[in-house]
Amino acid sequence: MTIHVNWGTADQRALHLTFERGWTWDDLQMAIAQADTFIVAAEHTVHLIIDIRHSGGLPRDFLSGAGELFAQGDARSNEGQRIVVGAGMMIRAAYKSVMALYGAQLAARPFVFASSLEDAHQMIATI
């Protein structure tokens, strides 16, 4: 699998999803299912840090794949911030397109961006 899911902090309040070059939508579906298992098992808020620094970019069918993903349901009640690390200008522009198309599904669970893992953890620490 080219997306790895593991706890990013000892207190299990941050879950890292680390993308590698060549990831597919199937990989993402498996990673989401794995992350969901971690989140459901926790009795506290769990923040997601989505590290795409080494992801190799977005799949060609990004908008349609994202639409299918967002149509799958609501966030867990204890799901916290979704922080993306390593998003360049192109990925941020793609996110704006997704927001324009699927804003209603994302309104309650937006993504925020951080320039580094350290910045992402700082953002969580201030919540």
Domains in the chain with CATH codes: 3-125 (3.30.750)
Q: How much of the chain, in percent, has pLDDT values that exceed 90?
A: 57
Distance CA 18, CA 31 (A): 9
Amino acid identity for residue 87 in this structure:
A
Buried b (16+ CB within 10 A) or exposed e, 22-44: ebeeebbeebbebbeeebeeeee
Predicted pLDDT of residue 67: 66
Whether pLDDT at 58 is above 80 = no
- pLDDT above 70 covers what percent of the chain? 86
- pLDDT bin (cut points 50, 70, 90) of residue 90 is confident
The pLDDT, as a whole number, for residue 97 is 80
Sheet holding 46-54, edge to edge: 3-7, 14-20, 46-54, 79-85, 111-114
Angle at 96 between CA 5 and CA 120, to 5 degrees: 40
Nearest CA to 6 among 41, 34, 33?
A: 34
Q: What is the pLDDT of residue 71?
A: 61
User: What integer is the mean pLDDT of 121-127?
Assistant: 93
